[in-house]
Structure 1
């Protein structure tokens, strides 16, 4: 699904050929990034993997450089688990994460997936604000979930989104 043309971006499924560009973003975004093997395994497992590229040619369906952001999600029974949502550091706070979340909602609800779950570092205030602003609610805490540079482990906040409610918001925002 392609976002509105005037945003100058194109959204398409990620492929193995995209991993070099993706890994450059992953490594500069996280102290403990996913490995290339994690991404390859996720693609092989059929996870939902979408990339958002800037484009000078709005009609281009094949994507364009540079890769701005990406998302990875795993389908379960009536739920979707958001595993990775990353925006290039130079392009944060431009609405790209919201575009990827909207895409996941539009993809999930017709497949009868009613909840989206995620874990986020307890210290990642910016991401937590993004998710809360989108409608996610805190659902629990996973103690010692993430590795941490300053200490042995860091807690994750478990968050969930009612996709049926999010669906209504995404569709209200669509142009006629």
Structure 2
């Protein structure tokens, strides 16, 4: 299962993504991170990994047999004007340190939620952790955020502790949720099964309703 097979692409976050990332950040969290915090993470933190998800750009046809097809293709090739990138629909950030992948943030644009994009970003984290031979993935989640907890449980995360008053906006507690034994056959089978189902869903939903808006 390759990322090229689905209608979205997950790529490293760039400083040029900041305006779109911050727009989602402000709509997703009561106490959003600052632009400077993201800039520091991207520029100076060697342990930080940040990704964004976008709709996949359709490549223009190499050849159009229509009467003006070759002219259109030539104009595209000679044009110096850069076409705008597809919009950022969500992002995830995590730290990889001493065998631990710690998810620090994950968010999806309100208009793009409930489409599997948060799960797609989680899959990217787990894949990166596996490639780095990490021992476990961990995160904090609001005790009231049952939807997010169900997603994490789907991938084998379990509650391992509770941080009292963790969230500064309302002093809500956070569950510490962790999945370990990433190299076990049981986890690998669970991960591949969930990933296959997600790939099928993303492709099917895109065919039924092209476009994210």
Give the TM-score normalised by the residue count of structure 2: 0.72
RMSD: 2.2
Match of 2:55? Answer: 54
Match of 1:127? Answer: 148
The equivalent position to 1:136 in structure 2, one of 157, 169, 174, is 157
Match of 1:154? Answer: 172
Q: Which has the higher strand share?
A: 1
Q: 2 CA distance for matches of 1:139 and 1:147?
A: 21
Q: 2 CA distance for matches of 1:168 and 1:58?
A: 34
CA deviation profile, 1:93-115 (whole Å, cap 9, x unmatched): 11111111111121111212010
The equivalent position to 1:65 in structure 2, one of 74, 86, 92, is 86
**Contact persistence 2:163–2:176 (CA under 8 A):** yes
Give the TM-score normalised by the residue count of structure 1: 0.86
Match of 1:45? Answer: 45
Higher Cα radius of gyration: 2
Residue 167 to residue 35, structure 1, CA distance change in 2 (3 Å) = farther
Residue 19 to residue 159, structure 1, CA distance change in 2 (3 Å) = same
Matched, 1:95 2:116: yes
CA deviation profile, 1:107-152 (whole Å, cap 9, x unmatched): 111212010010011122221122122221000000011112xx4x
Q: 2 CA distance for matches of 1:117 and 1:169?
A: 17
Give secondary structure in 2 for the equivalent of 1:27. Answer: helix
Match of 1:113? Answer: 134
Q: Which has the higher helix share?
A: 2
Unaligned runs of 5+ in 1: none
Runs of 4+ in 1 over 4 A off after TM superposition: 172-175
Deviation at 1:68, TM superposition (A): 1.0
Deviation at 1:154, TM superposition (A): 1.3
**Contact persistence 1:14–1:50 (CA under 8 A):** yes
Unaligned runs of 5+ in 2: 61-83, 200-213
Q: How many residues align?
A: 168
